[in-house]
Amino acid sequence: MNESFSSIAANPPSSAELQWAGDFLQTLRDEVGQALIGQQAVVDQVLMALSAAGHALIEGVPGLGKTLLVRALAACVDACFARIQFTADLMPSDVTGHALYNLREERFEIRRGPVFCHFLLADEINRAPAKTQAALLEVMQEGQVTIEGQSFPLPPPFMTLATQNPVEHEGTYPLPEAQLDRFLLKIQIDYPSIEEETALLRSVTGGQVGDKLDLSRVRAVADLEAVLNLQRIAARLHVGDAVLDYVVRFVVATRKTPGFAIGAGPRGGMALIRTARAQALLNHRDFVTPDDVKSIVKPALRHRLTLAAEYEMEGTQVDEVLDDLLKQVAAPRG
């Protein structure tokens, strides 16, 4: 493992590779924009998760385009896509699959569930109970599914894009901490701007029957090998010692601040590095800056932290405490 990391770190991407990756990401941006109007920051964060070979959790009230965004991204890549609508009665076997006895041949057969794909849309994931949510733990962390004691690996790339409604909404269950930690980013999607909402209304009501998700204009502009190549390039971007030190100091600070009852673990630091590399790649750079880290602190850490009880009672948000920490933890200069 260490030898593999060293070879990657010692082999930065060439200018041609950086140019290709930047053009590819811009193409994906443009294609997703054919279906989703506005929300550019949200789109960029999803593309960062894709570049970093991570999973993304998208939270927002109903009707903001979460499902449309995920389906549009999957439509851009010529890959296997599956959607699971999470409900209160969904069983773990409905996600992973199960063994079924074949009477004719007198043997058990494995029926693979929808999780066997490249892009998985876990729609409204927090409407299912914890035991069903836990069905995704193994596949998100290890890229494999175990059914009746037999392991079935999934070929890469595999990406889970989950949507959830805010936890205060009726009929929702909070995601277990172990489940949340599997997501590289927790992306919050808010209401569009006045200009974006005007353009949205003009597009959806301009002669279209109903309000179905329109993906007809989104083209498949990439294949699986292009996605894997993008991820390999992102993993080779240079991260200097000063940036690594800043990431460690920030993660440790989340464990010491009185604002958090539980701070970020080592996986939080890993998420910051991986996502900062993807942020640098979006900016056509082969190295990570402290500003790259600062820009992705909230989506990379907000779901790994637990507010202290007194802060929660006062209505303080996790992002507010992170804003304070960003001011307190000195970033390297130059």
Per-residue pLDDT, 140: 93
Q: What is the mean pLDDT of residues 291-319?
A: 95
Q: Check: CB of residue 50 under 8 Å from CB of residue 227.
A: yes
Per-residue pLDDT, 101: 80
Q: What is the mean pLDDT of residues 114-135?
A: 90
Q: Check: CB of residue 257 under 8 Å from CB of residue 325.
A: yes
Q: What is the mean pLDDT of residues 276-280?
A: 97
* Superfamily of domain 14-227 in the CATH hierarchy: P-loop containing nucleotide triphosphate hydrolases (3.40.50.300)
Per-residue pLDDT, 33: 86
Here the tokens at position 74 are 């999957």
Q: Which of the following CATH numbers is that of domain 237-334: 1.10.3720.10, 1.10.8.80, 2.60.120.10, 3.55.50.30? A: 1.10.8.80
Per-residue pLDDT, 165: 81
Question: What b/e readout covers 191-214, taking b as 16+ CB neighbours within 10 angstroms?
Answer: ebeeeeeeeeeeeeeeeeeeeeee
d(CA 166, CA 127): 11
What does the pLDDT look like over 205-230, one tens digit per residue?
Answer: 765 554 565 677 888 998 999 999 99
When computed from its CA atoms, the radius of gyration of the chain, rounded to whole angstroms, is 21
Per-residue pLDDT, 179: 87
pLDDT at 135 over 60: yes
Residue 102 is given by DSSP the state E
The residues, any chain, with a CB within 8 Å of residue 218's CB and separated by 6 or more, are 31, 32, 34, 35, 72, 75, 76
What does the pLDDT look like over 170-200, one tens digit per residue?
Answer: 667 788 888 899 999 999 988 888 888 888 7
d(CA 4, CA 62): 43
Band of pLDDT at residue 203, cut at 50, 70 and 90: confident
CA 254 to chain centre: 22
Other Cβ atoms within 10 Å of 326 Cβ, number: 15
What does the pLDDT look like over 69-100, one tens digit per residue?
Answer: 888 888 898 888 899 999 999 999 999 998 88
Band of pLDDT at residue 108, cut at 50, 70 and 90: confident
Q: What is the average pLDDT value for the chain, to the nearest integer?
A: 88
What does the pLDDT look like over 28-75, one tens digit per residue?
Answer: 999 998 888 888 899 999 999 999 999 999 998 877 788 888 888 888
Here the tokens at position 223 are 């294949």
* Residue entry with tokens 């808010």: 190
The residues, any chain, with a CB within 8 Å of residue 173's CB and separated by 6 or more, are 126, 127, 128, 129, 130, 133
d(CA 297, CA 319): 9
3-state secondary structure of 72: helix
Single pTM value for the model = 0.89
pLDDT at 6 over 50: no
SS3 content of the chain, % helix, strand, coil (to 5): 50, 15, 35
Band of pLDDT at residue 1, cut at 50, 70 and 90: very low
CA distances from 168 to 61, 66, 72, 266 (A): 10, 18, 28, 29
Strands 306-307 and 260-262: antiparallel
Which residue ranges make up each domain of the chain? 14-227, 237-334
Per-residue pLDDT, 206: 63
pLDDT at 3 over 50: no
The residues, any chain, with a CB within 8 Å of residue 75's CB and separated by 6 or more, are 31, 35, 81, 215, 218, 219, 220
CA 101 to chain centre: 37
Per-residue pLDDT, 177: 85
